[in-house]
Structure 1
Amino acid sequence: MAEVNPYLTFLDNCEEAFNFYKSVFNREFLTLMHFGDNPAEYQPPANESHKVMHVALPIGKNTILMGSDTPNGTGIVTVGNNFSVAIQAESEEEASHVFNGLSAGGQITMPLGKTFWAESFGMFTDKFGINWIVNFAPNT
C-alpha cells in the first residue's frame, strides 16, 4: 500500500478550512483544484465552479490531509461524519483488491473506474459505516 491519508468533505467551505489548516501547520498545498478547473465535459453548474474539487496539504512526515467540497444535491455530507480514509494504491490490481474487499457488504457511492485524474477511483461506505476512497494514479 502506497499511502493512507485522512480525507475531509465539506458542504461549501473547504478552501476556508484548508487555508486555516495551512496556517496552523505552516505548510503549502501540494494541490488545490476547483471544480471550475475540470475539463470542459466535466464542468459543474456556474454557481459551483468555485468549490474545491481536491486539495492536498502535507501535515507530517508521511501524512497528507486531503479534502473537497461536495456538489449541491449529492447528499453525501453529514457534519460529524464528513471524513474518509483515502487509499493511494500502488497498482490497478491493488486498487481493485482493496476496493472489492473493503466494500463487500457495504454501500458503493462511486464504482471503481477510470476518471480524468486516475486509472482507478472509487468511493464507498463499508459494512461498519466507515467511508473509504480508493485511488490509483500512476503518475502522481
Structure 2
Amino acid sequence: MITDIINYLGFDGNCEQAFKFYEKALEGKITGFFRYKDAPGDYQHSPEAAERVMHVTLQVGDKFIQGGDAPMGMHKGHSGYCINIVTDNNEDADRFFAALAEGGTINMPISETFWAHRFGMLIDKFGVPWMVNHPKPMQ
C-alpha cells in the first residue's frame, strides 16, 4: 500500500542552498538534513562529496519535499517535470510565486486562467521548474 508520494529533487552540489531558499520561500521547516560524511558504517564517498547533501526533508504544512545532491558526476539537470504548488487563495498564490521567482525566470506570469483564479509557471534560480495554482472549482 502506498502511504505517500513525495517530490524528490536532485542537485549537483547546491542542494543545501536550494532547500534553505525553499524553506524561506514556502514558509516551511527543514526537518531532516544529512551530508554524505554523516552516513553510518562503511559507506564510501569521495573526499569531494563529504559536504554534499545526501538527504534533506522540507515540511510545508502537512506536505513534504525531499532532495539531495546526486553522486558526483551523475546529476543530469531538471527537465520533464514541474513541482505544482496548489493554494486555496490568490494572496498565497501570489506570495509563493513571487518568492520562488526571486532570481529565477518567469515562464508564464501569474494571472487568472479559465481553470484557475491564479496560475503561473517559473524556473527558480536553481533550475527547478514550478507551477503555482489556485484552481477554480471543477464544473
TM-score normalised by length of structure 1: 0.52
1:28-71 Cα shifts (integer Å, max 9, x gaps) = 2111000010124103111111100000001232x200000011
Give the number of aligned pairs.
Answer: 82
TM-superposed deviation, 1:83: 8.2
Give me the whole-angstrom Cα distance separating, in 1, the residues matched to 2:81 and 2:69: 10
Q: CA RMSD in A?
A: 2.2
Aligned position for 1:77: 76
Give me the whole-angstrom Cα distance separating, in 1, the residues matched to 2:40 and 2:26: 31
Larger Rg: 2
Unaligned runs of 5+ in 2: 84-139
Contact 2:12 2:75 in 1 (8 A): no
| Runs of 4+ off more than 4 Å | 81-84
Q: Which amino acid aligns with 1:72?
A: M
Aligned position for 2:12: 11
TM-score normalised by length of structure 2: 0.52
Give me the whole-angstrom Cα distance separating, in 1, the residues matched to 2:80 and 2:35: 23
TM-superposed deviation, 1:82: 8.0
1:53-105 Cα shifts (integer Å, max 9, x gaps) = 000001232x20000001113x3423325889xxxxxxxxxxxxxxxxxxxxx
Secondary structure at 1:42 match in 2: coil
Unaligned runs of 5+ in 1: 85-140
Secondary structure at 2:29 match in 1: coil
